[in-house]
Amino acid sequence: MWRPNPEQVLLRQKRIQNINIKYSTQLQKQCCADGMVENLMDYTCERRAEFIIDGAECVSAFLHCCKEAATNRQKAANENLLLARCKPHPQATNIQGVKAVHIVPWIHFVRTPSFNGSCQ
């Protein structure tokens, strides 16, 4: 099972703390934390902010943190794509001498009559 690198986890937590430290009230911090939660319904940050009923300062904190978190997730995804496209090891692509033989005892092939060019 894939597990994130511990250094990446710490860096992500530090980024979250740096974003959240900007807010002074508990309500703003909670709205910011809610904005950083990934949305499974694929709504935009603006669409999600329409549901907030705690006032304008909560909406502002939510939008700021939501957009920052989305940017950070996009950067992380791009880094993973770049790692996946690294130059492959030469021995990994050398398939000379590899023989793929697979015997399937339950499959039976039936001979078909040779094709004479006519569809009848």
- Report all structural domains of the chain as residue ranges with CATH numbers, in order of start: 14-86 (1.20.91.20)
Would you state the pLDDT for residue 26? 92
Residues 58/52, Cβ–Cβ less than 8 Å: yes
Q: Which of 24, 32, 99 is nearest to 68 (CA)?
A: 32
Would you state the pLDDT for residue 117? 62
pLDDT in tens, 57-94: 999 999 999 999 899 888 877 776 665 555 666 666 66
- Torsion sign over Cα 107, 112, 117, 120: negative
List alpha helices for 26-55, DSSP H.
26-36, 45-49
The rounded distance, in Å, linking the Cα atoms of 63 and 12 is 19
Higher pLDDT, 13 or 43: 43
Would you state the pLDDT for residue 59? 96
